[in-house]
A and B are shown apart, each in its own frame.
Chain A
Amino acid sequence: MPIPSWGLTRRLIPAIAAASLAVAQTPPPAALPILQTNCQPCHSSALKSSGLSVATREALLEGGNRGPALKPGDAANSTLVKAVEQTGDLKMPPGRKLSPEQVATIRDWVQSGADWPASATGTTSSAKPKKGYDWWAFQPVKRAEPPAVADARWSANPIDRFIYARLEKEHLKPSPEASKETLIRRVSIDLTGLLPSPAEVREFVADTRPDAYEKLVDRLLASPNYGERWGRHWLDVARYADSDGYTIDAPRQIWKYRDWVLNAINKDMPFSQFVIEQIAGDMLPNPTTDQLIATGFHRNTPSNFEGGIDFEQYRVEAVVDRISTTGSAFLGLTVGCARCHDHKFDPLTQKEFYQLFAFFNNSDEITTEAERYDFNRPILEVPSPEEIARKKAFDSQFRALSRELITYVRELAAKGVKDTASDPELVERVQNLRELRRREPKFTTTLVMRELPKPRDAYVQLGGDFLRKGIPVQPAVPAFLPQLPAGATSRLDFAKWLVDPKNPLTARVTVNRFWQEYFGKGLVETENDFGAQGNQPTHPELLDYLANEFMARNWSQKAIHRLIVTSAAYKQSSKERQDLEEVDPYNKLLARQNRLRLDAEIVRDAALSASGLLTDKVGGPSVYTPIPEGAMSVTQVAGAWPTETGPNRYRRGLYTFFRRSAAFPGLLVFDAPDATSACTRRVRSNTPLQALTTLNDEAFLEFAEGLAARILKEAPEDNKERIRYGFQLALGRGPRADELERIERHLARMTDEYKSHPSKATELIYKGGKFTPEGVPANPPPPKLAAMLPKDLQLEATWTGVARVLLNLDDFLTRE
Chain B
Amino acid sequence: MTPEDLQLQFETRRHFFGRCGLGLGKAALLSMLTDGKAFSAPPAPVNPMAPHPGHFPAKAKNVIYLFMAGAPSQFELFDYKPELQKYHNKPVPDSMMAGKRFAFMDTFAKERPKLLGTNRAFKQYGQSGAWFSELIPNIGSIADDITFVKGLAAENFNHGPAKCYTNTGSTRFGRPSMGAWITYGLGSESSDLPGFVVLQSGPRGPRGGAALWSSGFLPTAYQGVPFRSGGDPILDLSRPQGIDAQIQRETLDTIRDLNLSQMAESGDPEIATRVASYEMAYKMQTSGPELIDFAKESKETLEMYGAVPGQASYANNCLLARRLIERGVRFVQLYHTDWDHHFDLGQPLEQVTREIDKATAALVRDLKQRGLLKDTLVVWGGEFGRTPMGEVREVGGKTGRNHHIDAFTIWMAGGGVKPGLTVGETDEFGFSPTGDKMDVHDIHATMLHLLGLDHQKLTFKFQGRNFRLTDVAGNVIPKLFT
Q: Specify whether A and B are partners.
A: yes
Residue-wise, chain A 586-629 has the 8 Å CB interface mask toward B (1 for contact) of: 11100000111100000000000000000000000000000011
A742 near B261: Cβ-Cβ < 8 Å: yes
Query: In the complex, which residues 225-275 of chain B have their Cβ closer than 8 Å to any Cβ of chain A?
Result: 225-226, 228-231, 234-244, 246-248, 250-252, 254-255, 257-259, 261-263, 265-271, 273-275
A805 near B231: Cβ-Cβ < 8 Å: no
Q: In the assembled complex, which residues on chain B have CB atoms less than 8 Å from the CB atom of A691?
A: 277-278, 280-281
Minimum CB–CB distance from B107 to chain A (whole Å) comes to 9
Question: Is the C-beta of B139 less than 8 angstroms from some C-beta in chain A?
Answer: no
Question: Is the C-beta of B205 less than 8 angstroms from some C-beta in chain A?
Answer: yes
Interchain CB contact (< 8 A) of B23 among A687, A750, A811, A816:
A687
B209 near A534: Cβ-Cβ < 8 Å: no
B159 near A671: Cβ-Cβ < 8 Å: no
Question: Which of B97-105, B296-304, B350-358, B450-458 binds A?
Answer: B97-105
Question: Which of B28-36, B82-90, B115-123 binds A?
Answer: B28-36
Chain A contributes a number of interface residues (CB within 8 A of B) equal to: 117
Question: Is the C-beta of B64 less than 8 angstroms from some C-beta in chain A?
Answer: no
Question: Is the C-beta of A521 less than 8 angstroms from some C-beta in chain B?
Answer: yes
Question: Is the C-beta of B111 less than 8 angstroms from some C-beta in chain A?
Answer: no
Residue of B258, B275, B284 with most chain A CB atoms under a 10 A cut-off: B258
**A635 touching B463 in the complex, CB below 8 Å, given contacts A575-B266, A686-B23:** no
B221 near A686: Cβ-Cβ < 8 Å: yes
Residue-wise, chain A 777-816 has the 8 Å CB interface mask toward B (1 for contact) of: 0000000000000000000010001001100111101001
Closest to B26 in A: A683
Question: Is the C-beta of B42 less than 8 angstroms from some C-beta in chain A?
Answer: yes
Residue of B103, B248, B251 with most chain A CB atoms under a 10 A cut-off: B251
A676 near B103: Cβ-Cβ < 8 Å: no
B29 near A584: Cβ-Cβ < 8 Å: no
Interchain CB contact (< 8 A) of B209 among A594, A634, A761, A805:
A634
Q: In the assembled complex, which residues on chain B have CB atoms less than 8 Å from the CB atom of A536?
A: 35
Question: Is the C-beta of A58 less than 8 angstroms from some C-beta in chain B?
Answer: no
**A576 touching B267 in the complex, CB below 8 Å, given contacts A527-B29, A805-B251, A805-B258:** yes
Q: In the assembled complex, which residues on chain B have CB atoms less than 8 Å from the CB atom of A525?
A: 29-31
Minimum CB–CB distance from B316 to chain A (whole Å) comes to 15
Q: In the assembled complex, which residues on chain A have CB atoms less than 8 Å from the CB atom of B31?
A: 525-526, 535, 586
Question: Is the C-beta of B21 less than 8 angstroms from some C-beta in chain A?
Answer: yes
Q: In the assembled complex, which residues on chain A have CB atoms less than 8 Å from the CB atom of B198?
A: 634
Residue of B39, B231, B255 with most chain A CB atoms under a 10 A cut-off: B255
Q: In the assembled complex, which residues on chain B have CB atoms less than 8 Å from the CB atom of A809?
A: 255, 258-259, 262
Q: In the assembled complex, which residues on chain A have CB atoms less than 8 Å from the CB atom of B42?
A: 585
**A746 touching B254 in the complex, CB below 8 Å, given contacts A526-B29, A676-B174, A685-B22:** yes
Question: Is the C-beta of B141 less than 8 angstroms from some C-beta in chain A?
Answer: no
> What is the CA–CA distance of A344 and B463 in the complex, to the nearest angstrom?
12
B464 near A245: Cβ-Cβ < 8 Å: no
**A638 touching B204 in the complex, CB below 8 Å, given contacts A679-B26, A683-B26, A688-B277:** yes
Minimum CB–CB distance from A607 to chain B (whole Å) comes to 15
Q: In the assembled complex, which residues on chain B have CB atoms less than 8 Å from the CB atom of A797?
A: 242
> What is the CA–CA distance of A674 and B168 in the complex, to the nearest angstrom?
15
**A630 touching B15 in the complex, CB below 8 Å, given contacts A531-B464, A685-B221, A689-B225:** no
B15 near A692: Cβ-Cβ < 8 Å: no
Closest to A630 in B: B228
Q: In the assembled complex, which residues on chain A have CB atoms less than 8 Å from the CB atom of B280?
A: 688, 691
**A304 touching B160 in the complex, CB below 8 Å, given contacts A634-B205, A687-B221, A801-B251:** yes
Question: Is the C-beta of B390 less than 8 angstroms from some C-beta in chain A?
Answer: no
> What is the CA–CA distance of A662 and B25 in the complex, to the nearest angstrom?
20
A674 near B210: Cβ-Cβ < 8 Å: yes
Interchain CB contact (< 8 A) of A696 among B229, B239, B257, B271:
B239
Residue-wise, chain B 312-333 has the 8 Å CB interface mask toward A (1 for contact) of: 0000000000000000000000
B240 near A635: Cβ-Cβ < 8 Å: no
Residue of B210, B244, B263 with most chain A CB atoms under a 10 A cut-off: B210
**A247 touching B242 in the complex, CB below 8 Å, given contacts A309-B158, A337-B465:** no
Query: In the complex, which residues 126-173 of chain B have their Cβ closer than 8 Å to any Cβ of chain A?
Result: 157-161, 172-173
B254 near A743: Cβ-Cβ < 8 Å: yes
Question: Is the C-beta of A207 less than 8 angstroms from some C-beta in chain B?
Answer: no
Question: Is the C-beta of A200 less than 8 angstroms from some C-beta in chain B?
Answer: no
Query: In the complex, which residues 380-416 of chain A have their Cβ closer than 8 Å to any Cβ of chain B?
Result: none
Q: In the assembled complex, which residues on chain B have CB atoms less than 8 Å from the CB atom of A674?
A: 174, 210-211, 214
B160 near A683: Cβ-Cβ < 8 Å: no
Minimum CB–CB distance from B100 to chain A (whole Å) comes to 12
Minimum CB–CB distance from B381 to chain A (whole Å) comes to 19
A582 near B158: Cβ-Cβ < 8 Å: no
Question: Is the C-beta of B334 less than 8 angstroms from some C-beta in chain A?
Answer: no
A684 near B261: Cβ-Cβ < 8 Å: no
B173 near A595: Cβ-Cβ < 8 Å: no
Question: Is the C-beta of B106 less than 8 angstroms from some C-beta in chain A?
Answer: yes
Question: Is the C-beta of B59 less than 8 angstroms from some C-beta in chain A?
Answer: no
Closest to A309 in B: B158
Q: In the assembled complex, which residues on chain A have CB atoms less than 8 Å from the CB atom of B204?
A: 633, 635-638
Query: In the complex, which residues 622-671 of chain A have their Cβ closer than 8 Å to any Cβ of chain B?
Result: 628-631, 633-638, 660-663, 665, 668, 671
Interchain CB contact (< 8 A) of A743 among B29, B258, B263:
B258
A804 near B39: Cβ-Cβ < 8 Å: no
B104 near A307: Cβ-Cβ < 8 Å: yes
Q: In the assembled complex, which residues on chain A have CB atoms less than 8 Å from the CB atom of B370?
A: none
Question: Is the C-beta of B219 less than 8 angstroms from some C-beta in chain A?
Answer: yes
B210 near A662: Cβ-Cβ < 8 Å: yes
Q: In the assembled complex, which residues on chain B have CB atoms less than 8 Å from the CB atom of A762?
A: 242
**A692 touching B219 in the complex, CB below 8 Å, given contacts A576-B268, A676-B174:** no
Q: In the assembled complex, which residues on chain A have CB atoms less than 8 Å from the CB atom of B214?
A: 674
> What is the CA–CA distance of A27 and B20 in the complex, to the nearest angstrom?
63
> What is the CA–CA distance of A739 and B270 in the complex, to the nearest angstrom?
19
Query: In the complex, which residues 271-327 of chain A have their Cβ closer than 8 Å to any Cβ of chain B?
Result: 302, 304, 306-310, 317
> What is the CA–CA distance of A528 and B226 in the complex, to the nearest angstrom?
31
Question: Which of A125-133, A258-266, A765-773 binds B?
Answer: A765-773
Residue of B103, B214, B247, B261 with most chain A CB atoms under a 10 A cut-off: B247
Interchain CB contact (< 8 A) of A677 among B21, B103, B174:
B174
A805 near B29: Cβ-Cβ < 8 Å: no
Minimum CB–CB distance from B95 to chain A (whole Å) comes to 19
A681 near B26: Cβ-Cβ < 8 Å: yes
Residue-wise, chain A 519-545 has the 8 Å CB interface mask toward B (1 for contact) of: 011000111110111111010000000
Q: In the assembled complex, which residues on chain A have CB atoms less than 8 Å from the CB atom of B38?
A: 586, 588
> What is the CA–CA distance of A150 and B268 in the complex, to the nearest angstrom?
31
Question: Is the C-beta of B41 less than 8 angstroms from some C-beta in chain A?
Answer: yes
**A334 touching B268 in the complex, CB below 8 Å, given contacts A595-B19, A628-B236, A633-B205:** no
Residue of A520, A633, A693, A797 with most chain B CB atoms under a 10 A cut-off: A633
Minimum CB–CB distance from B478 to chain A (whole Å) comes to 21
> What is the CA–CA distance of A696 and B31 in the complex, to the nearest angstrom?
36
Interchain CB contact (< 8 A) of A630 among B18, B230, B247:
B230
Q: In the assembled complex, which residues on chain A have CB atoms less than 8 Å from the CB atom of B246?
A: 753
Other 15 A-B pairs with CB < 8 A, given A685-B25, A695-B248, A805-B251: A247-B161, A308-B105, A309-B103, A336-B463, A526-B30, A527-B29, A575-B266, A630-B231, A637-B204, A660-B209, A688-B280, A693-B235, A746-B251, A764-B243, A809-B259
* Sample of 30 A–B contacts (CB below 8 Å): A246-B173, A247-B158, A247-B160, A306-B160, A308-B102, A308-B157, A525-B29, A525-B30, A525-B31, A533-B465, A535-B30, A594-B19, A630-B235, A635-B210, A636-B207, A636-B337, A660-B211, A661-B205, A683-B25, A686-B23, A687-B277, A688-B280, A692-B284, A696-B237, A749-B250, A764-B243, A768-B241, A804-B251, A810-B263, A810-B275
5 closest cross-chain pairs (CB), A and B: A764-B242, A661-B209, A635-B209, A533-B464, A247-B160
**B residues adjacent to A (C-beta < 8 A):** 15-16, 18-26, 28-31, 35, 38-39, 41-42, 101-106, 157-161, 172-174, 194, 198, 200, 204-211, 214, 219-221, 225-226, 228-231, 234-244, 246-248, 250-252, 254-255, 257-259, 261-263, 265-271, 273-275, 277-278, 280-281, 284-285, 337, 402-403, 463-465
